[in-house]
Structure 1
Amino acid sequence: MLPTSRSRLLALVLAPLALAALHAGPAAAQSIAVIVNGQPILSSEVAARSALTKLSGGKATQGTLDELIDEKLKIMEAGRYNMLPPDSQVDAAYASIAQRMKLSADMFSKAIQQRGVNPQTLKDRIKAEIGWATLIRRKYAAVLAQKSVAMAMTTGGAGASNKATQYTLRQVIFVLPKGASDAQASQRRAEANGARGRFPGCDRAVEFGAALRDVAVKEPVTRSSAGLGKELAETLDKTKIGGLTEPQRGEQGWEMIAVCERKQIADDDAMRTNALEQVGSKEAEEKSKQYLAQLRSRAVIVHR
């Protein structure tokens, strides 16, 4: 499955795995289960993934090992094309999972470590899925776009529309120093939430930021809902004009978005986006399966 946004990727692939990790048992002894193109998969990795699979409602079978082999192949191939996400993006995604569970990244790491699960296991999973999704999208972008739009138009668009919402936005960042502790991050978030209720609107945003400690206010930008993704667009629609969204942990600190203006426009990108969402995911999934099957057929896989 290839989600159309990072939020769907986290929600549908990673979050259930993370939730299960909180209850996982101790890791197994270190030994090699299989070697994939010269790179080992440890028996402890297989045991950990099996435990997570069981606790998330699945059954631990040979499919667990196959899943890890596929994951290894995905990382290798995405790495070959320099499409693996940087550590900062992986850490941000990991922190996003923790945040949805009402924990900081460090608290979440400690929770799963207490159950014998190395946080790096989840981070490897994140890296594989983000890198693979990026590779498939870029490798087959033209083919998927043309075929998806053609199919949607042939069937009457199935609700596809060129109606979109145009937003004028400003980003407000409560900057966190690198290596900030959990206590510092929590305190900074509280400051962001407190200031959020006092935000005077976009026209006075710079003045607002200047009066606070280590707060950056970006220049206004105009964006269409067609390019923002459904989740973010829904959040912006719920935010009043002149208001700020809730703080979200980003690479620089706690980030909020001010909605300065919101209006309906005609945007052909919206129609293309709707069409892609309707039929593009299925096409992308087929391409992904075909590609992965090719990698499997060429791989040197040695079971121990």
Structure 2
Amino acid sequence: MAKTVWGRAAGAVIMGVVLSLAAAMPTMAQSVRVTVNGTPITDLQVAARVKLFALEGNRAGTRGATEQLINEALQIEEAKRLGVTVSNAQIDEALLQISRNMNVSQDKLVGMLQQGGVSIETLKDRLRAAIAWNAVTEQAIMPQVQISDLALDQQAESQMQAFQNFDYILKEIIFVGAGSSGRSGQANNYRSKFAGCDSAVDLSLAYTDAAVIDVGRRHATQLPEAIAKELAGLNVGGITKPRVVESGVSMLAVCEKTQAEDLTFVKGDLRAEQGNEALEGEVENYLANLRARAKIVFN
């Protein structure tokens, strides 16, 4: 299935689902707690995963760790069946990303694990399963997720409101700098003298640190709701009230305004939301089917 708007977000959703699952390999001279299609999961693997849980604030305990390792064994097995391999470079990149997200060095990350009694191999095992399962999801599960365009059209139309049925060409007038009260005063003064987009730049020259930016064409559904509502009440040549933004004080001027229903952006949001929900459900079902067909023996 060709990747849709939601497809870009789907990778994040997949990793969010599978990073809470994962895979460990057998260790010699250990007591086997459970076998999954002949693959042993040892008591030491379970104990190591429980310690990793503790570092993460996860209180699922031994039972949760065992279930996670069972899922991982199935994920790794399915990945192999589909020809998916996970390289050491992929594992290293995943570890690097975790370090960056935590704003620590990799050495610091390893030290944090060791302080909790967890070896880096325990985390690598989980990452290996997560990466493998991500590939399985993209290859075997994502193509099964279908989102109806007709249903999206109908839902988008039902969500559209009157103030969203406009297309604009806009200019932004921004008074740059700190001191929002002083900047707002100048912005209001500018607004009182504003006579249309054609003279916007010339008018700005009378003010300190005032800039006029061509925003270009925007549909109402691309704008924050409060701004879209205000713009809907303005005619061509109108200008919004000053708003404090990160860089100063901003206003939007209406250069052109036409009646136009555009469902593109509403549908994009709906597609991402529904696609991700559907994908999560399919991922769960796929794993549940693997478990149903597996031979899982507890010792």
Where do residues 169-208 of structure 1 align in structure 2 (5 Å cutoff)?
none
Q: Which string of whole-angstrom CA distances, capped at 9 and with x for unpartnered residues, describes residues 256-278 of structure 1?
A: xxxxxxxxxxxx99777644421
Q: How far apart are residue 283 of structure 1 and its match?
A: 1.1
- Give, in whole Å, the separation in 1 of the partners of 2:123 and 2:60: 19
Matches of 1:279 and 1:109 in 2, distance apart?
38
5 Å-filtered alignment, 1:214-253, equals: none
- Indicate which of 267, 290, 295 corresponds to 1:295: 290
For normalisation by structure 2, the TM-score amounts to: 0.51
Letter in 2 for 1:147: I
Contact 1:152 1:279 (8 Å CA) reproduced:
no
Match of 1:143 in 2: 144
Cross-structure match for 2:236 = none
Distance 1:90 1:81, change over 3 A: same
The structure with the larger Rg is: 2
Query: What one-letter code is carried by the residue in structure 2 that aligns with 1:296?
Result: R
Question: Which amino acid is the alignment partner of residue 120 of structure 1?
Answer: E
SS of the aligned residue for 1:58 comes to: coil
CA contact (8 A) 1:3 1:133 kept: no
Change (3 A) 1:89 1:302: same
Deviations 1:132-155 (A, max 9, x none): 1221232233431x3265543331
* Unaligned 5+ runs, structure 1: 18-28, 162-267
Q: Contact conserved, 1:33 with 1:42, CA < 8 A, in 2?
A: yes
Q: 1:284 to 1:7 in 2, by over 3 A?
A: closer
Q: Distance in 1 between matches of 2:10 and 2:107?
A: 25
- One-letter amino acid matched to 1:46: V
Q: Tell me what 2:196 maps to.
A: none
Q: Percent identity?
A: 33
Range with bigger deviation, 100-109 or 53-62: 53-62
Distance 1:113 1:63 in 2: 21
The one-character-per-residue Cα deviations of 1:141-196 (angstroms, maximum 9, x if unpaired) are 3431x32655433311768x9xxxxxxxxxxxxxxxxxxxxxxxxxxxxxxxxxxx
| Within-5 A mapping of 1:47-58 | 47-55=47-55, 56-58=57-59
RMSD over aligned CA atoms reads: 3.7
Contact 1:35/1:303, CA 8 A, preserved across alignment: yes
1:273–1:80 Cα change, 3 Å: farther
1:294 partner amino acid: N
Residue 44 (1) aligns with residue 39 (2): no
Is 1:282 aligned to residue 282 of structure 2?
no
| Number of aligned positions between the proteins | 186
1:123 equivalent to 2:118? Answer no
Compared CA separation, residues 153 and 108, structure 1 to 2 (3 A): same
Structure 2 residues without counterparts, runs of 5 or longer: 1-6, 22-28, 165-262
Determine the C-alpha separation between the residues in 2 that align with 1:91 and 1:294. 31
Deviation at 1:13, TM superposition (A): 6.4
AA at the equivalent of 1:75 = I
Partner AA of 1:112 in structure 2: L
What TM-score does the superposition give when structure 1 sets the normalisation length?
0.51
